[in-house]
Structure 1
Amino acid sequence: MKGTLIVIAKEPVPGRVKTRLQSEFTAQEAAALARASLVDTLGAVLAARASRRVLALEGDPGPWLPAGFTVAGQRGDGLDERIAAAFEDAYDGSPMLLVGMDTPQLRPELLGFQWSGYDAVLGLTEDGGYWCLGLRTPDRRALVGVPMSTDHTGRDQLQRLQDLGLRVLMLPTLRDMDTPRDAAYLAAEFPSLRVSRLYRRLQHAAHPGLLFEQALGGTARVVATGIDGRTVPALSELDRWTAPADEVDRLALSRCEGPVLDIGCGPGRIVTALAERGIPALGVDVSPRAVSLTTSRGAAALHRPVQDRLPGEGRWGSVLLMDGNIGIGGDPVDLLRRCAELVRPDGLVLVEVDPNDDLDDTAPIVLRSSTGRRSTPLPWARVGTRAVLRYARRADLHPTEDWRAGHRAFLALRRTPVPHPTPSTQPAQPARTA
């Protein structure tokens, strides 16, 4: 087209862009996808025929901005006012077409229409909005007051243009990228886009903590597998983790001596059950969501890795490693040594072990989400009774009890007493004199 092309965009800052993507991606990942989408859009606009190109930007330009654009800061309160201002600030006497940053599949040829016979241009999106708006001259009446970010914004905008007596050229409807499902669609239909390549990389490189948070929040079903893809059953029982303590849990807790520290407390069913028994207890977990769920139940929990400094070190009556948490970090000896540091000299370390007594698998695991994401390898260990007994000896812990209940198995360990030299029963020899 002959005239000015305007891209209206936000600086891709984590937490400020693409927040709806954060149901499956971190704020940093969502911002990276937004940046890739913006770069794709700027590239298409740069390749299109135009007499001038303007970026109407909220925020600051970064290295993602190619040469060939004039940058103008956005002004106005709502999006309707900011779009109207972008037309006013970019106007140089020629027609203008404004596009957003959310349709990276935009191709230069789509912008090569002819203005002849038309006063305005509009391209709708599948979710009810619009991806582009063109005006021959700035006119605030065409924009201010049109409801933005609704499922009828596009229809309302078209009606406003027609009410002003403008002849409107309709461009093809596109799908914009607002949700994870939109991102998946774009990656499948337009695989060569920068945003599509990034999406595919992110799908196979999720942080394990993010998928665990999604599972706890109920936004996705998550299973644990080995690197080979085989499911790890003991680590995929989220329904049990989020439910109240059951009979087997309560049987294990009957061995506890307070106060109790629950390592990897998850959503807090164990800490809650202990509190209901009147036993002082604290949960620790690296998941903010898990800690929030625990405290919402009225129990105490701390957001902290077990290897960091913890309250009451060396004074806990019992330390718990339930639900296979002996696997945390992938090094059972290191974890058991840490537990021995945390309990008092006569304290108890209660470990839920794998029902397979001979299992000794310290290979990493992978979390896989029902949304299609896969985590990076997570250091973990799956160990049965015999392996834990070997590891316990190296951590100066000795077994006092092992038992099974249902399909679950447990070990009770205590710190190994440090031998003290016994007084000699032989009479003392007189000191020799010279």
Structure 2
Amino acid sequence: MNRGTLIVIAKEPVAGRVKTRLQTEFTAHEAAALARASLVDTLNTVRSARASRRVLALDGDPGPWLPEGFEVIGQRGDGLDERLAAAFEDAFDGTPMVLVGMDTPQLTADLLSVRWSGYDAVLGLTEDGGYWCLGLRKPDPRALIGVPMSTDHTGRDQLRRLQDLGLRVLMLPTLRDMDTPRDASVIAAAHPSLRMSRLYRRLQHAAHPGLLFEQALGGTTRVVATGIDGRTVPSLSELDRWRSPADEVDRLALSRCEGPVLDVGCGPGRIVTALAERGIPALGVDISPRAVSLTTSRGAAALRRPVQERLPGEGRWGSVLLMDGNIGIGGDPADLLRRCAELVRPDGLVLVEVDPDDDLDETAPIVLRSSTGRRSTPLPWARVGTRALLRHAHAVRLHPTEDWRAGHRAFLTLRPTA
């Protein structure tokens, strides 16, 4: 379209306000960054297309992501149908208008080269039932007001509305919107040179470990822990068991506990819940909001806090637990045992689940990998067997009182040295 107006309708890419459906796999800030990259790709394409004017109808404030050559108008209206109708009215200068959104970064300048001869409107549908493009020769609120938006039949309803008004409609190719993580993956694979695609690849290999742990706890995706070399870490890949109620081996370990009990790295709370059912006062601590939420939803007590920060009952806990390989937290077993010795009372108990390999003493970082392809940044961790743990315990003045195995799991109990 050599003569006419190209309109981009968009939201300011602010975390928490855009691309919330991406947050099943990405943080709010990551989702906003993907939205911003998609918007920049779209704006750059529109800037390179042939047009007499380029307008950005924006909900929010422009930022450094906005290239030169665009007039900015604010959005007005309540629903999306009203905002679209208002954008056409506010941008109209007597020439045909084509409006696109910010969710199709794969858009090309050729797609926007509309030949209006013989047509009154333009429509490009999306694979999810919506539409990525709408063109009108002149604004007409009847073409938009009342059309149901954000449904799997919005595109069909919009086409029917245009035809009911007697408009001759030029259909453009169907594109895929970037609404879900799957959409982002498909677009990035098909169009690797996009800014959005490059960012997507970086984010895929640099997820925050806490995010993947949250997803695993929520059951939205399967997550495994591996070493840097990619080999699975068995003791950290049993999240299904962590989400289940305490099993027979757990209950055997808990029979050693003396209340009150502090469960370090409580996860979804199966241990704290089992202790509460026995009538033993217990508190779980974890840095995961979802873990704390799951624990409290079971009727048990939990606190969101790193173990190294100040905790309730310092030096008065009857037992401190490091179950499920949590001796590895932070990657320094001696430092973690020293902290447990500070938390427990002088005659208290520190119960540690160790690796079944007695000789294992490994402090290499781990990486969390999700079934959706995301990989976390390295997480400091340790894996120790009985012999290594005894060395670390001796260094912080904890002495062993019991060493036992149940099934494929191994445990040690320790007490402060008098």
Specify if TM > 0.5: yes
CA displacement at 1:408 relative to structure 2 = 0.6
SS in structure 2 opposite 1:274? helix
Q: Structure 2 matches for 1:21-40, cutoff 5 A?
A: 21-40=22-41
State the alpha-carbon separation in 2 of the partners of residues 28 and 204 from structure 1: 16
Q: Which residue is 1:358 aligned to?
A: 359
CA displacement at 1:393 relative to structure 2 = 1.2
CA shift digits 1:389-409 (9 cap, x unpaired): 111111121111111111111
SS in structure 2 opposite 1:97? strand
Q: Which residue is 2:78 aligned to?
A: 77
SS in structure 2 opposite 1:256? coil
TM-score by length of 1: 0.96
Q: Which residue is 1:261 aligned to?
A: 262
- Residue 120 of structure 2 is aligned to residue 119 of structure 1: yes
Q: Which residue is 1:50 aligned to?
A: 51
State the alpha-carbon separation in 1 of the partners of residues 130 and 411 from structure 2: 57
CA shift digits 1:370-423 (9 cap, x unpaired): 001010001000000010111111112111111111111111011111xxxxxx
Aligned pair count?
417
SS in structure 1 opposite 2:98? strand
Q: Identity over aligned residues, as a percent?
A: 88
CA displacement at 1:299 relative to structure 2 = 0.3
State the alpha-carbon separation in 1 of the partners of residues 64 and 131 from structure 2: 28
State the alpha-carbon separation in 2 of the partners of residues 128 and 165 from structure 1: 22
State the alpha-carbon separation in 2 of the partners of residues 297 and 189 from structure 1: 45
Runs (4 or more) in structure 1 with deviation over 2 Å come to: none
Residue type of the alignment partner of 1:281: A
CA displacement at 1:157 relative to structure 2 = 0.3
CA shift digits 1:121-147 (9 cap, x unpaired): 000001000000001111000000000
Q: Which residue is 1:241 aligned to?
A: 242
Q: Which residue is 2:379 aligned to?
A: 378
State the alpha-carbon separation in 1 of the partners of residues 174 and 246 from structure 2: 52
CA shift digits 1:46-69 (9 cap, x unpaired): 000000000000011111000100
CA displacement at 1:368 relative to structure 2 = 0.5
State the alpha-carbon separation in 2 of the partners of residues 239 and 137 from structure 1: 58
State the alpha-carbon separation in 2 of the partners of residues 305 and 71 from structure 1: 46
State the alpha-carbon separation in 2 of the partners of residues 186 and 138 from structure 1: 32
SS in structure 1 opposite 2:352? strand
CA shift digits 1:98-142 (9 cap, x unpaired): 000000000011111211111110000010000000011110000
State the alpha-carbon separation in 2 of the partners of residues 21 and 76 from structure 1: 26
Q: Which residue is 2:139 aligned to?
A: 138
SS in structure 2 opposite 1:279? coil
Report the RMSD for the aligned CA atoms in angstroms.
0.6
CA displacement at 1:205 relative to structure 2 = 0.5
Q: Which residue is 1:18 aligned to?
A: 19
- Residue 252 of structure 2 is aligned to residue 270 of structure 1: no
- Residue 174 of structure 2 is aligned to residue 173 of structure 1: yes
Residue type of the alignment partner of 2:219: G
Q: Which residue is 1:67 aligned to?
A: 68
- Residue 254 of structure 2 is aligned to residue 218 of structure 1: no
State the alpha-carbon separation in 1 of the partners of residues 241 and 120 from structure 2: 62
Q: Which residue is 1:424 aligned to?
A: none
CA shift digits 1:169-217 (9 cap, x unpaired): 1111100100000000011100000000000001100111111111111
- Residue 297 of structure 2 is aligned to residue 296 of structure 1: yes
Unaligned segments of structure 1, at least 5 residues = 418-434
CA shift digits 1:330-367 (9 cap, x unpaired): 00011011101101111110000000000000000000
Task: Select the structure of larger CA radius of gyration.
Answer: 1
Q: Which residue is 1:428 aligned to?
A: none
SS in structure 2 opposite 1:351? strand
